[in-house]
A and B are shown apart, each in its own frame.
Chain A
Amino acid sequence: MRRAIAVVVCALAFPALSAAQPAPPDTKPDGTPVPRTADGRPDLSGVWNKRLVVNTAATAEPLPFTAEGLKAFNDVWNHIDPTSKCIFPGVPRVNTSPYPFQIVQLPDKVIFLYEYMHNFRVIYTDGRPHRKSWEPSLLGDSIGRWDGDALVIETVNLTDRTWLDDHGNRHSDALKVTERWRRVSANQLSYEETIDDPKFYTKPWTVSWLIPIAPKEWELMEYACTDNNKDMTDGHLQPGPLDGSLRDGTAIAPPPRPRRLPTQQP
């Protein structure tokens, strides 16, 4: 009771802070019917309100690091997050970066349009193999196929120049990503990613969550990261993971130190 009173008083005292708490994530389908295309497949099309996932590995920790992977994880304070320099998030981070994305599903391909950094992916589902002549790239080489009601995307030929997330989880150039996308209701997508990177992890690991559909009026907007990246152009960028998590040599990163609230003059 006393705790309840304190919570109410705090909520009154800090309305902005209370409002700033993220809504609890959807954990199960809401039971609304799954829209389907003319060929009977679940229709993934729509604008989806994907949210920033700060630590994509949270439910898989402790990660099965190799010695090299553990070293890279703990070395993160010696590097600037690539996205701070407006380098594409790459696959799979493009799916866990903030801002909505749109899926356009066609009979032979599924097109992903991401607001964040204006990335796009054309995922062919017509049975073609991975490309033989492409050089390694940030978004890699993705090929899709339908496995029942799931769109399965396998991405290879990635570089080691991107990170997995804001927590500073890393990957090597041996990374293979497998995504499984399912529309589980009118309002929800199920997203699953499997990280298979034998240089950094002794075995593959998998995480998943639901992504809600965006409000009806939402359209993709311009996100030009290089338009005014003052942090970079003015020389303010410093190394470290975006979530500020610390490192102590182990597989679990200590949380950042709490900040003092601004209540006094400098």
Chain B
Amino acid sequence: MRTRSIALVCAATAFAYAPAAVAHHSFAAQFDGDKPVVLKGVVTKVDWRNPHIWVYLDVRDADGRVTKWECEGGAPNALTRQGWSRDHLKLGEELTVEGWRAKDGTNTCNARTWKLASGQAVLAGSSNASAGGAGR
């Protein structure tokens, strides 16, 4: 019972701590908080430019078909001050992105976490500027 209670509290905590809708643009308008997505793909391009970094992925499904995705991350200046650089993501590297899909149905996402094949989280996760400045 206690374990279950703790799990529920954790779930509630996770919801409460989900990155706030803080970015260069309106998350709530542009991305769908009801459409979370987990993408596992290969990095094909990293745009380390203001106002947000963009990472391009080739995502292969179970049938071997490749779909191209592009995901938005934090702001270069905030990431740089936190010690991250474009060298933390290499072309051809396998990457798992957790985030939310764009409302317009394109293969675009707003990333919450980036994880290398080793399991290491990189790029400070979300674009939550109010939590230390990785946004906008």
Q: Could you tell me which A residues sit within 8 Å of B by CB distance?
A: 2-3, 5-7, 9-10, 13-14, 16-18, 20-22, 51-52, 54, 77, 80-81, 83-84, 86, 98-99, 115, 166, 218, 221-225, 227-232, 234, 236-244, 256-266
Q: Are B38 and A261 in contact (CB under 8 A)?
A: no
Given A98-B135, A243-B20, A266-B35, residue A16 in contact with residue B113 (CB < 8 A): yes
Q: Which residues of B contact A234 (CB under 8 A)?
A: 108
Q: Which residue of B lies closest to A14 (CB)?
A: B14
Question: Which has the most chain A C-beta neighbours within 10 Å: B33, B37, B78, B130?
Answer: B130
Contacts of A228 in B (CB 8 A): 47, 49-52, 54
- Residues in chain A near residue B106, CB distance under 8 A: 236
Query: What is the bound-complex CA distance between A3 and B135, given in angstroms?
Result: 31
What residues of B have a CB within 8 angstroms of the CB of A239 in the complex?
Answer: 26, 29
Inter-chain CA distance A203–B121, complex, in Å, is: 49
Which residue of A has the minimal Cβ distance to B6?
A6
Verify A224–B50 contact, CB threshold 8 A.
Answer: yes
- Can you offer 20 A-B residue contacts whose CB atoms are under 8 A? A3-B9, A6-B9, A16-B121, A20-B128, A98-B129, A98-B133, A228-B47, A228-B49, A228-B51, A231-B72, A236-B104, A238-B25, A242-B24, A244-B21, A244-B27, A244-B28, A256-B21, A258-B16, A259-B100, A266-B101
- Which of A13, A230, A260 interacts with B33 by CB under 8 Å? A260
Which applies to chain A's interface (DSSP): helix, strand, loop or mixed? loop
Asked whether B81 lies within 8 Å of A218 as measured between CB atoms, the reply is yes
Given A99-B77, A115-B77, A238-B26, CB of A20 within 8 Å of CB of B132: yes
Complex CA gap A202/B14 in Å reads 41
B136 CB to closest chain A CB (Å) equals: 6
**B73 → chain A, closest Cβ, in Å?**
12
Q: What residues of chain B lie closer than 8 Å to A232, measured between beta carbons?
A: 25
Q: Which of B16, B28, B72, B98 has the most CB of A within 10 A?
A: B28
Q: Is the CB of A241 within 8 A of B26?
A: yes
Does the CB pair A256–B77 fall under 8 Å? no
Q: Which residues of A contact B50 (CB under 8 A)?
A: 222-225, 227-228
Which residues of chain A have C-beta atoms less than 8 A from B36's C-beta?
259-264
Is B23 interfacial (CB-CB < 8 Å)?
Answer: yes
CB distance from B26 to the nearest CB of A (A): 4
A261 surroundings in chain B (CB, below 8 A)? 14-15, 18, 36, 98, 112
Q: Which 6 A-B pairs have the closest CB atoms?
A: A244-B28, A259-B33, A262-B36, A244-B21, A238-B29, A228-B49
CA distance A135 to B129 in the complex (A): 34
In-complex Cβ contact of B19 among A20, A227, A265 (8 A): A20
Question: Which A residues are in CB contact (< 8 Å) with B113?
Answer: 16
Q: Does B118 reach chain A (CB closer than 8 Å)?
A: no
Given A229-B51, A240-B29, A244-B26, do A262 and B99 touch, yes or no (CB 8 Å)?
yes
A240–B28 touching, CB < 8 Å: yes
